[in-house]
A and B are shown apart, each in its own frame.
Chain A
Amino acid sequence: MALALHYRLLTRSVHRGRLPDPAAVLALPMLLPLGYLVWLALQARLPDLALTLARMELPTLVLRMALLAGGATLLAFALAVPWAWLVTRTDVPGRRLFQALGPLPLAVPPYVGAIAYAALLAPTGLVHEGLARLVGLSTSQVLFPPLLYSPAGAAFVLGVFSAPYVFITVQSALERSSPALEESARSLGLSPAGVFWRVTLPLLRPALLAGGFLVFLYAWVDFGVVSLLRVRTFTTVIYNQLLAGLSLPDSAGSSLALLVMVGLLLLLVQRWGLGGARYTQVGSQRSSVGLGSRRQPLGRWKLAALAYLLGAVALTLALPLAVLATQASKLGPLVAAGFLAEQWPFVRNSLAVAATGAWLALGLALVTAWGQWKGRGGLPGAILQAGYAIPGTVLGLSLVGLSLALLPGLYGTAALLAVAYLVLFAGPAHQAAQAALSQIAPAMEEAARVLGRTPLGAAREVVLPLASPGLAGAWLMAFILSIRELAATLVLRPPGFDTLPVRIWVHTMDVGVDPRASVVALLLIALVGLGWLAVLLVRPRSSPVALG
């Protein structure tokens, strides 16, 4: 009886908004690393901080990063926009295959891509040695193609391997907008090219902006590629400060400078982003006529389009994988087998921390996404998204200080890695979980309630079973992102506790391009690929869940 009364008062209070939203309560601690950074930076002695910042040659650094991120974004657009348009709007041969291949380069972490292309374009790389032998010069006299170890090289790698972000956003936008818009433009007298410039492209603006922003942000805060290619940016500088034992407050100060820039970037994109126009279609989403009859025939451009797609696939997938395989084969089968067996502890470490991090992220994401589904506002979810924008090195730095200050027992344990993955990837997990829940009509839960289920019972028997494919996808997404995370892992890992990305980094940083790095890289890609396959297999099938 007392329990029932307690329950009644509790539900009543939550209903009337007297109790704080549990999602907000759980999401707020995710802001601790940021808050701690600010607090830490405030401890810095101003002259010291000024000196630190001056040593970093800020203007050069920022200019280099802007060129790097801008170049990567342009390359990603050039690769992904035609790719997405060709597979959704034209009759290019192999349409379905190229459509399926579009998101796949995400399985190759950019720092692994950097290793592959470095093997081609290093001073002693395959291309230069081959050319040198061909024309009878020494490798140092071969001036073309340029070496990968430069900001341009880093931009190239980052652009190639983050192109899928643009592909995914643009392709889903193209699928959502009806070809009828383009057809009506044709009927109003525009040429096909005119339609593309005046209708298709403007309609894609939000998708281009979103995808481009992801690429730009990723390149801006990247650590793996720039450190492997020896390009000095903010993240490598901060990492070196940490290695050099610079005082935490000073490092915090410079980290904060980087974060402020990220924040300004976000603001800029939002301001100049969308204007007042609406970009989703008004009225019925799809006409009854099948899309098949409405594809733009390519005619004599068919071969050129096919060649373009083959080239894009070669650049983003086939070439890097082939190079990695070639490099790995240099080791010889026996040595390779022995070396692979030695990797087992690192595989185990990777799986353990990534899985733990993914469970934590999914647990938190479930609470915040649930709150949003119940119409309690998106603030907790937005807080989680903020975590995704923190560069790994900066988060690592903050968690080092934070754990020492609050929970000294946590410092130097693998658990701290899982916490870092939670902060970094609860945002993407929230988005995936929220997408899964948004497919479920609120009436589903209400129907269970009037049929006698408590809120928990309704969740267990109806909502969670219905959302489970999407939730599994959310977990796998957090898992994949965690298992390939490098920057925060490097800073936070306990001594002797290496993960696969750390091993790749060690093998590459120590001795330049090393066949063993390629072996570990292929191992990591295989693990990520397996996870990917699982995502595809559990992807929600539309027909039954769309009901109601």
Chain B
Amino acid sequence: MAPGPVIDLRGVTRRFASGVLAVDRLQLQVAAGNIVVLLGPSGSGKTTVLRLIAGFEQPEAGEIRVAGRPVAGQDVYVPPERRGVGMVFQDYALFPHLTVAENVGFGLHHLNGRDGARRARVQELLGLVGLAGFERRYPHQLSGGQQQRVALARALAPNPAVVLLDEPFSNLDADLRARVRAEVRDILRAAGATAIFVTHDQEEALSLADEVAVLWAGRVVQLASPEELYRRPATREVAAFVGDANFLPGRAHGEAVVCELGTVAAPEAPEGAVDLMLRPEMILPIADESGNGRVVAREFYGHEQMFTLQLDSGATLRSLVGRRRHQSALRLGQRVRVEVQGEAVVFPAARGGAAPDERGE
């Protein structure tokens, strides 16, 4: 394996004919064997990044290298068929007029005339994705999850430098999605493949990725491991987009911030006015008639429940409480005091005060 990143985008810019700046001086490096997820709201440019790497779009500026070889940039354009990348499309794009085996073997045209080698490779991949014995079926005779795996086998067959997956789970039912996700990740790991996923689903991103690149308005605003991303989001937007977030105004001093909920530990906080970000599971309501808030809503999920609390100042907080906690007895309208568990993340104060529970959709 060559040293250096398998995928290397430097200063890549793509502006559509409509004038929309889809990708803006984007930097992205992906190391061999890594699974990277591009996460962003719709319109953030994540699919365009994938199409730039595949060669279906050309950048106005910047350079793209695949396995160290420049494929797009100043006076360089390598067409998709000679880039050595694999792709799994959102609707799978299986060829309906070809059998499963013909679909998987489609990219093995360098083995034309060597039917034995070709068949062996197809078998190997169908075994890898658990579809041995399905060779002669046609795509419309398969379930959604099976089609998904055929598409993956087809993309992996020619041994591409990287596999690109464009929202590959969006067409699956919710109950199937988690299972197929795990299967796909295991297959990619078993194949030792480098992969770039695109998704707008933060849960999917966190559960799949070695690294998540959060895209906002055509730029990578944070590239980090899922844990890092959740615990230490780089901006308010990232914090709100990845998981639920509560924001409260406060004043930082030393390693702590003073806010409505009292003093909260916050290392690395700058001095002065700040906004605190608290995840729902950090907020613990305790029944207390002299507390400064009350329960205004409750959503029961079985293994845990989400409370919406309103503080006397008017701010609302979302609080996630596990089943074993005695808080299950909290009633609507009950007065509570709020305890904070763990360390808060701090952002420079937003103008206009606290904005509770922003979701970046």
The interface of chain A, by Cβ under 8 A from chain B, is 8, 11-12, 15-16, 441, 443-444, 446-455, 457, 462, 465-466, 543-545, 547-548
Contact = CB atoms under 8 A, between A and B. Distances in A.
Contact of B80 (A12, A449, A544, A547): A449
Given A15-B58, A548-B92, A466 B97 contact: yes
A449 B81 contact: yes
A443 B107 CA distance: 15
Interface string B55-92: 11010000000000000000001011111011101111
B89 A451 contact: no
B83 A443 contact: no
A12 B73 CA distance: 12
Interface of A is mostly: helix
17 contacts: A12-B77, A16-B58, A443-B90, A443-B91, A444-B93, A446-B56, A447-B93, A450-B83, A452-B107, A452-B158, A455-B79, A462-B95, A543-B140, A544-B96, A544-B97, A544-B140, A547-B139
Given A8-B77, A15-B77, A451-B81, 12 more contacts: A441-B91, A446-B87, A446-B89, A451-B106, A452-B109, A454-B79, A544-B138, A547-B96, A548-B92, A548-B93, A548-B94, A548-B139
Contacts of A452: 81-82, 107, 109-110, 158
Contacts of A465: 97
Contacts of B77: 8, 11-12, 15
Interface residues of B, number: 32
Contacts of B110: 452
A450 B96 contact: no
B309 interface: no
Contacts, number: 86
A446 B54 contact: yes
A466 B96 contact: yes
Nearest to A454: B81
B118 interface: no
Interface centre among B80, B85, B92 (most CB of A within 10 A): B80
B213 to A, nearest CB: 21
Interface centre among B56, B81, B106, B138 (most CB of A within 10 A): B81
Q: Which 9 pairs, one residue from A and one from B, show the smallest C-beta to C-beta distance?
A: A451-B107, A443-B93, A449-B80, A447-B93, A544-B96, A443-B89, A547-B96, A450-B87, A548-B93
Contacts of A544: 96-97, 138-140
Interface of B is mostly: loop
B154 interface: yes
Contacts of A16: 58
Contacts of B97: 465-466, 544
Nearest to A4: B82
A441 B93 contact: yes
Contacts of A441: 91, 93
B63 to A, nearest CB: 16
A102 to B, nearest CB: 30
B67 to A, nearest CB: 15
B80 A446 contact: yes
Given A447-B89, A450-B54, A452-B158, A548 B96 contact: yes
A548 B87 CA distance: 14
B106 to A, nearest CB: 5
Contacts of A453: 81, 109
Nearest to A543: B140
Contacts of A15: 58, 77
Interface centre among A8, A462, A547 (most CB of B within 10 A): A547
A280 B192 CA distance: 48
B94 A450 contact: no
B53 to A, nearest CB: 10
Nearest to B91: A548
A379 to B, nearest CB: 15
Given A451-B154, A544-B140, A446 B93 contact: yes
Nearest to A453: B81
B79 A450 contact: no
A258 B54 CA distance: 53
Contacts of A450: 54-55, 80-81, 83, 85-87, 107, 155
Contacts of A543: 140
B108 to A, nearest CB: 9
A447 B140 CA distance: 17
Interface centre among A452, A462, A466 (most CB of B within 10 A): A452
Contacts of B91: 441, 443, 548
A457 B92 CA distance: 20
Nearest to A458: B81
Interface string B129-145: 00000000011100000
Contacts of A548: 89, 91-94, 96, 139
Contacts of B80: 446, 449-450
B2 to A, nearest CB: 21
A545 B81 contact: no
Interface in B13-64: 54-56, 58
B85 A447 contact: no
Nearest to B142: A547
B54 A451 contact: no
A441 B109 CA distance: 23
Contacts of A451: 81, 86, 106-107, 154, 158
A269 B54 CA distance: 45
A448 B87 CA distance: 10
Contacts of A545: 96
Nearest to B89: A443
A428 to B, nearest CB: 26
B79 A449 contact: yes
Interface in B290-349: none
A455 B54 CA distance: 14
A377 B14 CA distance: 21
Contacts of B58: 15-16
